[in-house]
Each structure stands twice: as structure tokens, then as C-alpha cells.
Structure 1
Amino acid sequence: MPPDRQPRVQRIVRVRTGCWSCRRRKKKCDELRPICSGCRRNDLRCEWPSTVPGRRNSGPENDSSSYIPADRRSSFAGSIEDLDAMQLPASPLSRRHSSTSSSPGLSAIIEEHLAQVPAQDETIDRRRSTIVGDENALVASMAVGNVVPRTLSMLPGYDPESYSLLSHYLANTADVMANGTTPINPFLVQIVPLAFTSDLLLQLVIAQSAAHRAFRRRDDSDAVANSHYTKAIQLFRHGVNDFIEGKESNPLMLLVGALLMCFTETAKGDMTGTVFDHLSAAHTLLVKLLEQSDTAVPRELKDFVIEYYVYTATVSMISIDARLSGQLFLNFDLEQRAREVLRTQYVGNLCGCWLELLLLIPCIFDLGRQWMMDDTQPTVPTADDMAMFASIQAQILRWSPYSFVEPEVYLAGLVFQQAMLIYLYTSLGGYTYTPDGMYKGLIQTAVTEALSYLDEISPQARINSGLCWPIAVVGSCLEKPEQQERLRTRLTAMATHFGLGNMQRTLLLLEAMWELPASDAGPWNICRSMQAKQIWISFA
């Protein structure tokens, strides 16, 4: 590098010689053997490598590392050297630390703090020895084989509980959030790398994992989950303020953060409608992101973010009362970007192979809204209403799942297709529910078809994680007790297996709807049941 150019991040100077204790503490070692002055002063075990760079013929009589078997010394020393050579980026959270942290960064913080106090204070020396000794003991206890891990230095400021939650996310939460449509899970390959570059996303991942674990334990008052959720909200607000003040120009992290918060509510089974606040924030941020050059964000990540938002926004619209609100979460520009993704025959872990169907939901919502909000509502739909109705119906009927997808994905696509038909057939209010009318029969046919496809999918199949919306649409039209019991059994099994709160809340909402008269059935009355029972959920 030319002398006039300096690296953006100052290189961390690490101790290359001396005993292992001084290296780990990043302190200069005077190399007195068998016990150096630093270890003697701090009452630490003084351990030496088999060979020290810059010293020749170090005899075994002075080598305290001889207790390590000869065939394992090289790998142990190599691992330590690799750790010393690694350089971590600076993190705003690096100043936040707890007494249980065992990262090398914690040692540096403690040593820097204690160095400001007179060294001859024996009480402080003993305290320093205790803290560093405990840290080394914890690192040693967490070692795998002879490799000392970089455990908490990767996440400065996080305690061991956070590591447990991160492990839970990798092993469980990410798995149930994706529907298994593709062998690559974007909640792992896209979200996790981003999380390790952003304190906000990392906290959100941990908060989502905590919410999922708490629901699995059926513990709504889980203190750990509540604490991490509060931290996530605070970090998100701080990020929004920085974005508004111009301190951060790239909306990607905030956008992904808002979407993660939506799915955190999904895991919690939130009933207060908080998810819609996150969704509104995500809408604004996605518009900002799409204004940037396509080269600013990798194509795979951008496609996933678009899928993530479109899926969450479209299936959440059913929770909005079309009689009172014209709110749409998908504007024309976002819809066009989604259709660009669709032209590549995109198959995703949220929208499966039915992205085309999801893009019709706003069209149906707008059709129903215009009909229901018309104060001078005629007895039959207008010609324009019927033309739009026929166009949407034709698009749904000619749609079919991609032939190359897995059988369960194919069946799930057919379930969505029947649910879309039910949503459309019930969009024209009273006209749909005329006694013994044609559309009444079409609705029951679609319900029967959807239930038969659902029966072919195991309640434990991963594809179920994305089926709450069609299940709610179909379930809202069930009149026969045996059909209701079939769906009740299925949702109970799904909630038990996946541990996602929205599955249990979906059943809770349907139970409320099944108590209503037939005239109040149908997906357009889901929002009214929410209002009556104060259950505000998204079906994402």
C-alpha cells in the first residue's frame, strides 16, 4: 500500500512472542522463565509454546507446554497463531459488555480500565487476576478439542444466553421460517451473513429466536425474550433516526430489520397488530432501496427482500377492513418489480411457486373494497365490476404450479389457488351469498378441493409454515362440524410441531368465526372477527 494511503481500520497489533497468558491478554511479556513477571504479578498459570519466534534452542527444561502431547502441539499453536492474526471490524456494541463475557476484547477493556489505577494497589491486582482467570477458565471450558474458539469476541457485548439463542435460530427458527421450497434457506444464507455485519440485524435475529423459543415453551412472560425484543426495538428506532438525519444512506439493513420484526411478531403470535407498523416501515424503506442502482445490492438478496415484502404485505391485507380502509401495502412500482422477479420463474421459501397468485390479492382487495364502500350499492355488481371479476378469475384458473417443484410445493400451490378463488368469489358481498346461488356452490366446491389437497400434505411438512393464509380463507367458510374438526386438528399439530404463534392464533380466530352465523362467514369478515375479539394478527 502506498505510504500516503492508510487502511480504513487501524490494524490490531497483537503480541507475537511470550507466554500464552500474555498473548491472550495482549500484554507484552518479559519472557522470564519459568514464570514471567506478568503471570507472577497476576497469579496466572504461565504456559509457553514449544518454540518461540526469535528464540533458538529453547530447551525442554524451560518449556512449560511440555504437558501437551507432541502430536497435538502443532495444531494447538497454529490455532492460537491464527486467532492472533485475525482482525475484527470495529463495532458500536464493542463498548457494551457483561461480567460473563469471555472475549479477548473484554480482557483489553478490563486491562485498559485497571491500568488507570495505581498498580501497587494489591486489591486491584487480585481483582484483575480473578477476572482474567475466570475469563481464561471459561474459554478453556468452551474449547473444542485443542482449539480455543473466538467465542464472544465475535459478538462483543452479548452474554452466553445470546449464544444459546443464536444456536436456536440456526438450528430451529430459521428452519421453520422458510417453507423448504428450495434446498437453500435464505434465512441462513442471506440473513445470517448480514447479521454479522450489523448490530441491529444481529439483535433482531436473537430477538426472533427468543420469541420463537418462548412460544414453544408456552411462556408469554419469558424475561429473556422480552428483554431482547425491547433491545431490538430500541436499536431499530436508533437506526431510523440515523437514517432520517442522513447519518446512514443505505436503507438495506433497516429494511431487512423491519421485515425481521414482522416475522418476530409471527413467531410471537402477536395479537396487537404491531406487525402492521413494521410493515409500513418496510414499505417506505423498500421504495428507497429500489431507487438505488441494482449493483448496490446482490441480485439474490434483492430478489429475496422483494419476495419477503410481497409475501408479508399481500397475505396481511386480509386483516384490513375493506369497508373502512383503502390502505394497500403494494403500490404499482413494487408490483412491477415483483413481476420482474416472477418472469424468472422464481421459486422462494416464502411465496413458493405461487408469487403470481399473491400479486392478484391487491386486485381482489380493491375490487371488494370498491363494492363494499359504495353507499349506493346496487343489488348486482356493475359491468365494470363483473369485467374485473372475470379477468381475475381467468388468471387464477389458468394458473398452475411449476412442474419442476417438489410434490408438497405443488400441492401447496393448488391449495393457494383454491383459496384465491374463494377470496374472489366472496368479494362481491351480498351478491355472492344469494341463497342457492351459483357462486355459493363454487365456494363450497373450492373449499372441498382445498381440504382434499391439504389432507395430502403432512402437518409436519415444512411447507405448512406458509399456509396460514389459505387455511384462514378456507376455514372462514366452513359450516360442517367435521370439516372444522379436520382443520382444528391440523392447526393444532402445526403449532405443536413448528412452535409458531401465528398458527395458534389462526386457530383461535377461526374458533371465534365458527361461532358466528353463516351470514357472517367468509374471508371478508375475518377483519370483523378480529375487531370483535381484539385479535390483530398477520397470516405471514
Structure 2
Amino acid sequence: MISTLSFGHLPPGAHARLSISSSPQSSMSSSSDSPMDTPTFNSNETSLPDTQTEPRIDSRLGSDEIVPKVEERELLLADVKPEPVSDEPPISPTEPIRVRRGRGRPRIYPPRSPTASSKATKARSKTGCTTCRKRKKKCDETRPFCLSCQKNNIHCEGYKPVELWKSGKERAAEARRQSLDIKFELPPLMEGVENDLDRVLLQHFASRASCVLTLQGDQPTNPFTKILLPMALKHEGLMHSVLCLSASHLCSLSPSQDYEDRQTFHRGKALQLLNQDLARHKTGGGGTMIYEDSNVAQILIHLLHSICDGNTSGEYRMHMMAAERIALTQKSQNPEFQTLFDEFFYYHLIASRITSLDGTEIPMMEDFNLPFQVNPETAALIGVSDGLFGFISKISNLRRKIRARIDNHLDPTMDYEALIAAHAIDSALRAWVCPQTPGTARYTVSMLYRQATWVYLYRTTKESRPHPFIKGAVDDGIKYINELPAEGAIQSNVLLPLFLIGCAAFEVDQRLEINRAFSGLMASTGLGNISFAKEVVDRIWELMDADDSESWDWEKIINGKGWDFLAT
């Protein structure tokens, strides 16, 4: 009997196959030590399961046959076979997985599909418009305004700006940087002075602009810094007027868009506040308007602004009319301010007659003095306090009468009354005594005004032709101009006499000196009306050279150009 015992086929490297063959004799003496009893390997074997690790008894062999235990050896990497590669294409992530249904009755609660369980939840969009997000509606995200809001007739609030993501370190660095950049602006110290440029304008007014409007260049005696500036510190409207005047003067010296913008701003604010103040004013007896000193000062500043700005549209007349009503109806309780107002108002009122065709006569006293008194030592202008403007006013009135006779073709143009008036003015002018100290700049400019007044009288009553008399008068006037300091407050009063003497310069060498004086005056004062005065003088010279009889009437020339300005 041959019995075959074999170990089942084990994984490679785990254990070998073993087969035992024996005869009946050998089975009876299995415990002998004969070599014949040694088990031999045979190809006919029976495979044992891989999981069998314990010895078992084969029922076919009887109770004495025992299957020995086989120990597993260590698994080597080289013994592992690679997984077979499938020829089928991989499953697409978007293609649902087909699960084979099991047999039998379906469950009451079937399991969820792997596709549904693995599908990520869609987050809410954060890029919609603000209105749709508030309403919790779907937004089509049309820019700048979504169609959904337009379709529902709802105001679309638009989209929030995109914020770039920043790390915590970047946000902390930005916060530190912003904390270092924080600057707290100080509030304005004075009403009306709002920024750094306004502070520059205020400083310019105190140090430069106020000096070219008055003979008092020194700060302690300058009426603008002594009287008007303290008033401006308490009145916002007057402060805006002061800054407007300063910006206008700076624009004449060095044109700048910033200066022009601030000039326009302060002018608008000043006029607005002035109108508000006038609307609140109480009326005195008889319904007369009573003006406060600050409002009177505003009117005076706006009058001077038309000079600095070089306005030729006659803007100054509106302020002149208001100042004239004030001068005739009320007086200030501050004597210093009243003197300042009277002097500046009458100076510009009489000077305006030299460059305009206004036929209104200025009432003068018989002694050619103005209806108020100004101390010549403290006078801020020349001609008003010493009586010279009384002569100029009389000459302006005489000039209008002669023009009316010429326009009406009356002969002679110088009638008896005109001759008597001219003789009286000439006699009084020769007897005039300068109240200033000889040798001073004030004395020189006063004598210049006297010379220009006589030239004004000559050009009014005589034919417009060269003559030794007028040549000598113009030469003397040029000498006075050359004696004046080229810089300083004294130049503020030179334009009016320079204009009158220039309109009488028939000689070429005289015109060279006049041109030089105009250039120096423009450089030292920067007033905007100087260039227009010079243009009129150039036109007069052209008519002189053409032997035109109308060269004496510069008022008509100015009016023909459509201009109306002050040569002061």
C-alpha cells in the first residue's frame, strides 16, 4: 500500500512541498532507523491550505499518521508579484460609479450613492452685488450694476472693492506703519486762515502788500497792519478780504494757479459774508443803513483789490459808490480808522476822474481843500492831506467843460469862465507850500505831485503840440522821479504823477526815461494796473507823433478801449 502525504502548495518562499511514500512493511516499523524509512519527495502530492499551521491527522492514514507543522519564513520584496494591469480606461471623476446590485429584496433604506456622498457642498458666492447679498438673492454679477436689480427696479448698490489677502505678518506691519504715519492737524488759529497757503498770504500782506498801498512802510506806523489787520483777526469776512487782496498781489508778482484759486475762493467768501452782514444791519434815523467798521474796511479792501488785480471793467465803481454813501452819512467812533477811510476814499475818488469820462463834479471847498483834515506827518498818501488833490479835482471839472464845448463845436473852447478858472488854479498852485521836510523822500514825491498837477493843467488848456514850457515841466518831473528811491513804500504813490507826465512827453529822450520809470515801478510794486496805464501812454505818443489834436484826451482813448480802471 502506497500512501502519499503532501503539503499543500504554499506561497513562494514560504515552505517547500514534501511527499512521503512507504510500504506496508515500512509502516509497521516506522520507528526504525533504517535509511529506507527516510521520507522522499514526490511530484504527486496533495496541496495543503496556506493557512494550516497546526498538525492534523489524516483520516485516510489512521491515527498514527501526523502532518507536521510548517513554520513560515520571512517574506521578501522580490517574492511579491506586481498587480496585474487592467486594459480598461480609468473611471472619470465626473462619471458615476456603477455599483453591482446584490441579489434579494431591496433594503428599506438603501445606502447613499458613493457619488452623492463624495460630492462637495457648493459654497455661497461672495462676489455678488451688495443689494443681492442683502436680499439673499442670486446675482448675475453684471457690472457696474447687476441686471437682476435693474429687472426688479431696485437700486443696485454696486460691488464691494476686491481686497487682497494679506498674511498676519503683513497686516501687523501695515498697522504699525499706519500708526507711525498718523498726524493730527491743528485747528486754525484765526478764522479764514485755513491752510498753509493762507498763512503765506497773510504773511505776504503784512510784510509786502500793505507797503505798496501806503507811504507808511514801517510795520508800527503802517495803517493796514496797525488798524485793519487787528480788525481782521476778529472778523472772518474782513480776513477773507485781506487774503484775497494778498493773493491778487502775489499773482501780479509771480502768476500761479494756486494763488488764483485762493484769490477766487477768498473773494467769494468775503462777498458772501459781507452781504450777510449788510442784511443784518439795522437802519438809523430816516432809514439810513449803518455800517460797522469791519464792513467799511471790507469795502475799502475790495476797492484796492481792483487796483492790484488790474481790473479794467470798472469793478471798483461799485465799491466806490458804497464808500461814498458811507462817507456822506456816517462817521466811525474810531478816529484813526475814520482818518484812514477818508484819506483812501477821497484819494481814489478824485484819481478816478483822471482816467474816466464820469461827468459828476466833486464838491470842493473854495480854498481847494477837501472837507476833512489829515495830518501831513501821518498821511498814508500824497496829495490828499496837503491840498494838491483839491487842485486836481478843479482841473478835472474844467477838463469836462472844455470837452463838452469841443463836442458841441463851440468856439472858442476856452471861454471866459474857463480862463478865469485856469488862472485861479495856476496862481494857487504857484503859491502852494510843501508841508514836508526838504531833503526827504516825502518832500520829493510831494514836489513831483505839484509838477504833475501843473502838467495836467497845461494839457487841459493848451493845444496838443510840443512847446518849451511843457518840455521844461516834463524834464523837471523826470528829475523828481529819478531822485526817488528805486525801492520802498514811496513808490506806491508814483503811478499817478508818472501817468500824467508821460502823457505830456513829446520828446524821444523823455520817453526813454518814462519807460524806465514804468519798468522800475512794476518791479517794485507789482500792481496789475500799471501795464494798462503804460499802454494808454504808448497810444498817446502815437497820436502825438501823428500831430493828432485828440492826443490830449486820454479819457476818450481809455473809454474807446472799453476800459475803466484806476491809475493809482
State the TM-score, normalizing by the size of structure 2.
0.61
Partner amino acid, structure 1, of 2:267: Y
Contact kept in structure 1, 2:495 and 2:521, CA below 8 Å:
no
Which is bigger in relative contact order (C-alpha 8 A, separation at least 6)? Answer: 1
Aligned to 1:447: 474
The within-5 A match list for 1:329-368 is 330-332=362-364, 338-342=370-374, 344-345=375-376, 347-351=378-382, 355-368=386-399
Contact kept in structure 1, 2:347 and 2:389, CA below 8 Å:
yes
Structure 1 residues 287 and 202 mapped into 2: Cα distance closer, same or farther (>3 Å)? same
Aligned to 2:269: 231
Partner amino acid, structure 1, of 2:344: Y
The structure whose Rg is larger is 2
2:500 aligned with 1:470, yes or no?
no
2:546 aligned with 1:516, yes or no?
no
2:209 aligned with 1:178, yes or no?
no
Query: Which of 433, 442, 445 is the matching residue for 2:463?
Result: 433
Contact kept in structure 2, 1:320 and 1:527, CA below 8 Å:
yes
Distance 1:475 1:526 in 2: 11
Contact kept in structure 2, 1:319 and 1:537, CA below 8 Å:
yes
2:421 aligned with 1:421, yes or no?
no
Structure 1 residues 413 and 337 mapped into 2: Cα distance closer, same or farther (>3 Å)? closer
Distance 1:280 1:366 in 2: 19
The within-5 A match list for 1:41-56 is none
Distance 2:416 2:267 in 1: 50
Aligned to 1:189: 226
Partner amino acid, structure 1, of 2:308: A
Give the CA deviation at 1:500. Answer: 1.6
Contact kept in structure 1, 2:475 and 2:510, CA below 8 Å:
no
Runs of 4+ in 1 over 6 A off after TM superposition: 244-248, 333-337
Aligned to 1:158: 194
Contact kept in structure 2, 1:314 and 1:361, CA below 8 Å:
yes
Give the CA deviation at 1:401. Answer: 1.9
Query: Which of 515, 523, 543 is the matching residue for 1:488?
Result: 515
The within-5 A match list for 1:25-424 is 137-139=184-186, 152-155=188-191, 158-180=194-216, 184-219=221-256, 222-243=260-281, 249-290=290-331, 296-321=332-357, 325-328=358-361, 330-332=362-364, 338-342=370-374, 344-345=375-376, 347-351=378-382, 355-374=386-405, 375=408, 377-379=410-412, 381-404=414-437, 407-424=440-457
Give the CA deviation at 1:169. Answer: 0.8
Distance 2:301 2:489 in 1: 19
Q: Residues 488-540 of structure 1: CA distance to partner in whole angstroms, max 9, x if unpaired?
A: 12211221222221223322322232222355588852222212333332012
Aligned to 1:67: none
Structure 1 residues 530 and 239 mapped into 2: Cα distance closer, same or farther (>3 Å)? farther
Give the CA deviation at 1:419. Answer: 0.8
Q: How many positions carry a matched residue from both structures?
A: 382
Q: Residues 26-74 of structure 1: CA distance to partner in whole angstroms, max 9, x if unpaired?
A: xxxxxxxxxxxxxxxxxxxxxxxxxxxxxxxxxxxxxxxxxxxxxxxxx
Give the CA deviation at 1:283. Answer: 0.8
Partner amino acid, structure 2, of 1:457: L
Q: Residues 211-253 of structure 1: CA distance to partner in whole angstroms, max 9, x if unpaired?
A: 0111111348822222222322333333344448789733433
Structure 1 residues 372 and 533 mapped into 2: Cα distance closer, same or farther (>3 Å)? closer
Partner amino acid, structure 2, of 1:281: A
SS at match of 2:316: helix
Structure 1 residues 300 and 366 mapped into 2: Cα distance closer, same or farther (>3 Å)? same
Distance 2:550 2:223 in 1: 34
Distance 1:208 1:465 in 2: 15
Structure 1 residues 510 and 301 mapped into 2: Cα distance closer, same or farther (>3 Å)? same
Structure 1 residues 479 and 376 mapped into 2: Cα distance closer, same or farther (>3 Å)? closer
Distance 2:472 2:204 in 1: 42
State the TM-score, normalizing by the size of structure 1.
0.64
Aligned to 1:90: none
Structure 1 residues 174 and 365 mapped into 2: Cα distance closer, same or farther (>3 Å)? same
Structure 1 residues 338 and 257 mapped into 2: Cα distance closer, same or farther (>3 Å)? farther
- The two structures, once aligned, show a CA RMSD in angstroms of 3.2
SS at match of 1:258: helix
Partner amino acid, structure 2, of 1:530: I
Distance 2:415 2:535 in 1: 37
Aligned to 1:117: none
Q: Residues 181-202 of structure 1: CA distance to partner in whole angstroms, max 9, x if unpaired?
A: 7771101101111212222211
Distance 1:419 1:335 in 2: 20
Partner amino acid, structure 1, of 2:236: D
Aligned to 2:99: none
Q: Which has the higher helix share?
A: 1
Contact kept in structure 1, 2:382 and 2:446, CA below 8 Å:
no
SS at match of 2:516: helix
Give the CA deviation at 1:306. Answer: 0.7
